[in-house]
Amino acid sequence: MFGTILRRFSEVSLPPKVVILTFDDGPVCDGLTEELLDLLDELKVTAAFCLVGAKIKGVEKLVRRIHRDGHLIVNHGYQHKIPNLMSDDEWYDDLEQCDAAIGTALEIDDWRSAWYRPPGGGWNRRVARLMLDHRRSLMPITFFAWDTLRFPYRSRLILAKMKRNLRKDRGGIYLLHEAVLPLWGGVQAAGKKDDRRWILEIVRAFVMWARNDGYLLLDPRSLPPAGLCVE
């Protein structure tokens, strides 16, 4: 059975008027991660970065900066392979390899993420059991903008969708992608190159709009392990 980590706002244990920003599929070496970190520093926003282990080699300094700037680092798998397609042992090896890659970049022995976001949002009871067995907490989402698709005026349309969703739900966990990766692993075969600096426009406009409307941009590090209860 295939499920998804997409949840209604009422299904996650966040109070109203709270927003968490999350970024998947980094780090990237084309300058976007660095520019995103600069922007978040300017806006005084702390976010969650869901990192793919196989993308870390050669850009370890970006991982160190994410950590140094105070953002939450989330395990997003080593090969970015949807967990529903892996055996239990394959899933655990992938999880451990990602932790090891992050720990090596941070120069921290035995580094271990308390949080996991399944690539592709793949989710079912077996994945939930594996996470529980290995003491990992799910980093879900409450809004998916389909920013991985190419369509005209996408930054403007995605921003409008995010605003509409926030007005409706009065809070949430929002996802944007630093890159577009396949769901079957092999991060080097990511398809057509896509300059995704347009997400910077979305982040700036969304944060300013949300704050002006009285929302708190929550530091995800303040969440205790297993602190986002999902049904």
Residue 183 has a pLDDT of: 76
Beta carbons within 10 angstroms of residue 43's beta carbon: 16
Percent share of the chain, pLDDT over 90: 78
**Is 2 a domain residue?**
no
Q: Alpha helices of 44-195 — where are they, by DSSP H?
A: 60-68, 88-106, 125-133, 154-169
- Domain count across the chain: 1
Average pLDDT of 140-154?
A: 86
Kindly tell me the burial class for residue 200, based on how many C-beta atoms sit within 10 Å of its own C-beta (0-12, 13-18, 19 or more). Answer: middle
**Is 113 a domain residue?**
yes
**Is 66 a domain residue?**
yes
**Is 86 a domain residue?**
yes
**Mean pLDDT across the chain, nearest whole number?**
91
Report how far residue 204's alpha carbon sits from residue 186's, in angstroms, rounded to the nearest whole number.
32
Residue 189 has a pLDDT of: 42
- pLDDT surpassing 90 at residue 152: no
Average pLDDT of 122-141?
A: 92
Report how far residue 178's alpha carbon sits from residue 8's, in angstroms, rounded to the nearest whole number.
24
Average pLDDT of 162-175?
A: 96
Total H helices, total E strands in the chain: 6, 10
Residue 218 has a pLDDT of: 97
Query: Angle at the Cα of 192 (from 90 to 78), degrees rounded to 5?
Result: 20
Residue 141 has a pLDDT of: 95
Residue 2 has a pLDDT of: 61
Unique residue bearing structure tokens 């890159």 = 179
CB 102 within 8 A of CB 78: no
- CATH of residue 162's domain is 3.20.20.370
**Is 1 a domain residue?**
no
Domain holding 78, by residue range, is 16-222
- pLDDT surpassing 90 at residue 224: no
Please enumerate in sequence order all residues whose Cβ is within 8 A of that of 87, keeping only pairs 6 or more positions apart, or say none.
none
Please enumerate in sequence order all residues whose Cβ is within 8 A of that of 167, keeping only pairs 6 or more positions apart, or say none.
none
pTM to 2 decimal places: 0.94
Query: Which pLDDT band, with edges at 50, 70 and 90, does 150 fall under?
Result: confident
Q: What are 103-114's pLDDT values in tens digits?
A: 999 999 999 999
- pLDDT surpassing 80 at residue 196: yes
**Is 227 a domain residue?**
no
- pLDDT surpassing 50 at residue 190: no
Please enumerate in sequence order all residues whose Cβ is within 8 A of that of 39, keeping only pairs 6 or more positions apart, or say none.
200, 203, 204
- pLDDT surpassing 60 at residue 230: no
Average pLDDT of 192-207?
A: 88
**Is 102 a domain residue?**
yes
Q: What are 18-53's pLDDT values in tens digits?
A: 999 999 999 999 899 999 999 999 999 999 999 999
Cα distance from N-terminal residue to C-terminal residue, the chain: 17
**Is 7 a domain residue?**
no
Q: What are 47-73's pLDDT values in tens digits?
A: 999 999 999 999 999 999 999 999 999
